[in-house]
Amino acid sequence: MKLESVYENIQPRIYAFFLAKTSNRQLAEDLTQEVFYEAVKGMGTFNNGSTLETWLFAIAKNRLKKHIRSQTYQRRLKRLLTKEERFEVSPEESLLLKEKQSLVLQQINTLDDMAREIVILRVYGALSFKEIGQLVNQTETYTRVTFHRAKLKLQKEMEDYDG
């Protein structure tokens, strides 16, 4: 079966799956494209233990779960930030918080390329170490160790700033 015919046959159904789950056309289109991108990337892992259609829908379900986790993380972060703002922070405290956030970003940018990528994917992308490892072509252990070392370095820099 040609890849084009598989895509033409299954793509509308995966899109419909996402549309039914999210009620958002643009998001459904984006997630559908991500499924096929992941499928092409992971074609070597497909074993004929299931049909190609089942495999693609398994990828779709996992992609949806990942999206929902990401949205949940972002909502929690927003709630946390909103709670902080409700405590009536003085203008001076607000300025200090913004300066500290800016300093953290500056410090992240001083990390080497790989460490910076891992930190950003972990902190801002909320990805697991396994997912990060796949994205940067490293092992899960490598990403954990690199993140830990980068975090220690950032903490030390922030302590030096505070002290």
Q: What is the pLDDT of residues 45-56, one digit of tens each?
A: 887 777 888 888
The residue among 151, 152, 114 whose CA lies nearest residue 135 is 114
Does residue 25 surpass a pLDDT of 70?
A: yes
Instruction: Name the pLDDT band for 93 (thresholds 50, 70, 90).
Output: confident
pLDDT digits (tens, 9 = 90+) for 103-152: 778 888 889 999 988 988 887 777 789 888 888 899 999 999 999 999 99
Write the CA distances from 9 to 2, 59, 91, integer angstroms: 11, 16, 58
Domain spans, the chain: 1-88, 90-163
Q: Give the CA-trace dihedral at 4, 57, 15, 71, to 10 degrees.
A: -130
Domain spanning 1-88: CATH 3.40.50.300: no
Question: Sign of the C-alpha dihedral, residues 61, 65, 67, 71?
Answer: positive
pLDDT of residue 80: 62
Q: How many alpha carbons lie under 13 Å from residue 72 in its C-beta half-sphere?
A: 7
pLDDT of residue 142: 96
Instruction: Name the pLDDT band for 81 (thresholds 50, 70, 90).
Output: low
pLDDT digits (tens, 9 = 90+) for 37-47: 998 888 888 87
Question: What span, in angstroms and rounded, lies between the C-alpha atoms of 19 and 160?
Answer: 50
CATH topology (fold) of 90-163: Arc Repressor Mutant, subunit A (1.10.10)
Residue owning tokens 């499924």: 35
